[in-house]
Amino acid sequence: MQLRAAITSDIDTLNSIYHGIGCRRDGGYTYTEFQTGMENFRDLLEPYEIKATLFMVGNDFRVKKNIQYILAMKSEGHEIANHTNSHAQAFRLLQLEEKEAEIAEMEKICLKVTGEKPVGFRCAGWNISNDAVPILKQRGYLYDSSVHPTSITPLFKFLQWLTNLKRTREEQTTFGNLQNMFSPAVPYICTEKKLAKRGLNGIIEFPLTVTPFLRLPFYATFLLATGMRLFKISYQIIKNLERPIIFSFHLSDFVDYFHPDLINQVPTSSDGVYVPQALRTPLKKKIELFRKAIEWIAKDYSFITLKEWAYEIRKNG
């Protein structure tokens, strides 16, 4: 049996995440952040000939200096997917027409810049809602990848609220409905009304990988926080049970936020916001950990983009 894996990355900016708190309000990355992030991500994947799925924010296509890097990644075979137009953290709480606008506006600018419309979607903070399924299906999407079925969802929700007390209610929400904790932990077709339930008439859901049994997170941010020892234990269990892997990064994982051009752009805890581990860890350490993780997975798994994987699932029924 061929074991499948996908590498994904949420390409969201400091500006998208913090909406101007401690960072430039130029609609996208500073040049150094975007350039080094994209290049370091590509350099990590290149030795393994991995083609990744990049979930991109529509507003970042509107920054001219970003376009050459977007087109370069696409030309090298990486998939461009939809991460909303504005990195709407409170996507789950939006009205239906607002949700569709977030999806449609990213589609529009992506088609204009790349000549291709995305077929996959992931919302910010994995903060998806069931009523997004009909919208995505009607707009021709093959898949969603917004469900994070980890058992520690309540803890993450509490920490998001606690560490963002100075922000709005919309910016404090994360991780979608609690029912997503109990969704299937491997790719599946959902129902038309519930993302977390298997069905026949919905779209394909690619949940982020969690460990069997305990359902602990298995992605780059958790690796930075817990180290290689837990990663290796988790990986062995996943591999032994022949579970597929969707291993997710953020572009911030590949940026050195101690660089002089960026250090003053990064918010601190005194700003009343949560600062991810990736913004507090030196780039060299991040890359070393990620390379080790990729090498472990690459020994046993073959990599594929989520788009290709979705076509494969549809073909095989």
User: Which one-letter amino acid corresponds to residue 3?
Assistant: L
Please determine, for residue 191, whether its predicted confidence score (pLDDT) is greater than 50.
yes
Number of H helices, E strands in the chain: 12, 9
pLDDT band, residue 120 (cuts 50/70/90): very high
Q: What is the DSSP string of 220-248?
A: HHHHHHH-HHHHHHHHHHHHHTT--EEEE
For domain 4-316, give the CATH superfamily: Glycoside hydrolase/deacetylase (3.20.20.370)
Tell me, what's the pLDDT at 28? Answer: 45
Cα pseudo-dihedral 76, 189, 173, 104, rounded to 10? 60
pLDDT average, residue stretch 107-134: 97
User: Which one-letter amino acid corresponds to residue 77?
Assistant: G
Percent of the chain with pLDDT over 70: 95
Rounded distance, CA 99 to CA 138, Å?
Answer: 13
Tell me, what's the pLDDT at 31? Answer: 59
Is the separation of the CB atoms in 203 and 133 below 8 Å? yes
Please determine, for residue 256, whether its predicted confidence score (pLDDT) is greater than 70.
yes
Rounded distance, CA 215 to CA 185, Å?
Answer: 8
Please determine, for residue 21, whether its predicted confidence score (pLDDT) is greater than 80.
no
Tell me, what's the pLDDT at 20? Answer: 58
Is the separation of the CB atoms in 311 and 68 below 8 Å? no
Q: What is the CA radius of gyration of the chain?
A: 18
pLDDT band, residue 182 (cuts 50/70/90): very high
Please determine, for residue 180, whether its predicted confidence score (pLDDT) is greater than 60.
yes
Tell me, what's the pLDDT at 261? Answer: 81
User: Which one-letter amino acid corresponds to residue 162?
Assistant: L
188-189/204-205 β-pairing: antiparallel
Please determine, for residue 1, whether its predicted confidence score (pLDDT) is greater than 70.
no
Please determine, for residue 148, whether its predicted confidence score (pLDDT) is greater than 60.
yes
Range ranked top by mean pLDDT from 17-26, 122-131, 151-160: 122-131
Encoding tokens for residue 192? Answer: 């038309």
Rounded distance, CA 167 to CA 9, Å?
Answer: 25
Percent of the chain with pLDDT over 90: 77
pLDDT digits (tens, 9 = 90+) for 23-50: 654 444 455 788 889 999 999 999 999 9
pLDDT digits (tens, 9 = 90+) for 208-245: 999 999 999 999 999 999 999 999 999 999 999 999 99
Rounded distance, CA 42 to CA 54, Å?
Answer: 11
Element (H, E) at 80: strand 79-82
Between 317 and 168, where is the model more confident?
A: 168
> What is the pLDDT of the chain when averaged over all its residues?
92
Tell me, what's the pLDDT at 22? Answer: 59
Residues in the chain: 317
pLDDT average, residue stretch 131-137: 97
pTM > 0.85: yes or no: yes
Please determine, for residue 293, whether its predicted confidence score (pLDDT) is greater than 90.
yes
Q: Who's near 67: CB < 8 A, 6+ residues apart?
A: 61, 113
